[in-house]
A and B are shown apart, each in its own frame.
Chain A
Amino acid sequence: MRDILFCGAGFVLAMVALGLIRILRGPAAADRMMAAQLLGTGGIAVLLLAAGGGLAAAVDVALTLALLAAFAAVAFVKSGTPPKLDKSPTGEKG
Chain B
Amino acid sequence: MSIAVALNILTIVAVSGGAFFFLAGTVGLLRFPDTLTRLHALTKADNVGLGLIMIGLLPRVAWPFDALKLIVVWVLVLVASAVSSQLIGRKLWRGGDGS
**Is there direct touching of A and B in the complex, by C-beta distance under 8 Å?**
yes
Contact across chains for A29 and B98 when beta carbons are under 8 A apart: yes
Interface residues on A, range: 35 or more
Cβ < 8 Å to A, chain B residues 26-43? 26, 29-30, 35, 38-39, 42-43
Q: Which residues on the A side are within 8 Å of B49 (C-beta)? A: 12, 41, 45
The 7 closest A-B pairs by CB, nearest first: A70-B80, A73-B84, A81-B98, A41-B46, A15-B26, A77-B87, A41-B50
**Number of B positions contacting A (CB below 8 A):** 48
Give the interface SS of chain A, mostly helix, strand, loop or mixed.
helix
The residues of A that contact B62 with a CB separation of less than 8 Å are 56
A positions within 8 Å CB-CB of B? 1, 4-5, 8, 11-12, 15, 18-19, 22-23, 26-31, 33-34, 36-38, 40-42, 44-45, 48-49, 55-56, 59-60, 62-63, 66-67, 69-70, 73-74, 77, 80-82, 85, 87
Tell me the B residues contacting A by CB distance below 8 Å.
8, 11-12, 15-16, 18-19, 22-23, 25-26, 29-30, 35, 38-39, 42-43, 46-47, 49-50, 53-54, 57, 60-62, 66, 69-70, 72-73, 76-77, 80-81, 83-85, 87-88, 91-92, 96-99
Number of A-B residue pairs with CB-CB distance less than 8 Å in the complex they form: 147
Point out the residues of chain A lying under 8 angstroms from B35, CB to CB: 26, 28, 30-31
Quick one: which of A30, A40, A70 contacts B88, CB cutoff 8 A?
Answer: A30
Name the distance in Å between A10's Cβ and chain B's nearest Cβ. Answer: 10
A70 touches B76 (CB 8 A): yes
